[in-house]
Structure 1
Amino acid sequence: MKKSVPWIALSILVLISMASWITYSTYKPTPPELEVAAAKHIMEVKPVTYTLRKWGRTASADINIEPAVLARESTPLIVDSNDNVKLLFKQSPDAVKCYLWDMDTGRLAYKELTGYPLNFEEYNVASGDYALEVHAKWENGYVLYTARVIVHDNEQ
């Protein structure tokens, strides 16, 4: 029995090492989840493009389509022009920049909106249908999210 104890311990170590290696070799970093909230409405926003590194592993996705085209199929978040739009990340990013693209023309309407939360009144966002593009950066990579936002002028 005493001679088999080292072999059993070695076997267990080998099994643990193999299980760890299998887990590591199949591991793929995933982008943090994001919810966009305004007034009483909340919607989940899926990542579109990202590059992330963790534990020596890299994951990336790239969709080379204009934000207005991507957001066209999504359910819009309806907000007033004086609302604050909150970006609720599962993991807080190091830096965030937001852009609003006009859904009708596909052109950039408002660039480099910053702040937590986004204050549409501060940027004088006019009523309209927009694609909200969120660039979030972490130490281990970046993620680009796209959502559709319909802004109504609260005075109408």
Structure 2
Amino acid sequence: MIQQIYPQVQHSYSYELNKDMHFAAAHFVPHEAAGKCQNIHGHTYFVNVTIGGDELDESGFLVNFQVLKKLVSGQFDHTLLNDHDQLFNEQNANDFPTTEVIARKIYELIQAHLDVLPNKPSCLQVFVRETPTSYVVYRPKQVRNHG
């Protein structure tokens, strides 16, 4: 993993967890303005997820790192992102597999998992690097402090 300083998100939680992950995947952007990106091509995506919370679970974790890796890398590694019909489609620009949308969809997957945990942590930020020179940060508008 590339050692990276990520943009910081302000919060009032006692705990902040960051998990770095990566996955290799192909995609294409189904719009004429995407230029060459309309063609199937691949990237090694580097992802950092920031999670905050005030309570640890019965194992002493805010969130289990292995679960986060399974939710992201385990689902997307060595796939064509466009084939993930439950997340991406070719009809709505908000669901095209662009880096921006990928970051938001990763947030949604992770937050859906966090919402069922008794300690109720919150996903604060998702950082997705698509190339050495291009990345996106997604932060939800409202961070839910459950404490």
Question: TM-score scaled to structure 1, two decimals?
Answer: 0.26
Instruction: Give TM-score, length-normalised by structure 2.
Output: 0.27
Higher-helix-fraction structure = 2
Q: Higher Cα Rg: structure 1 or 2? A: 1
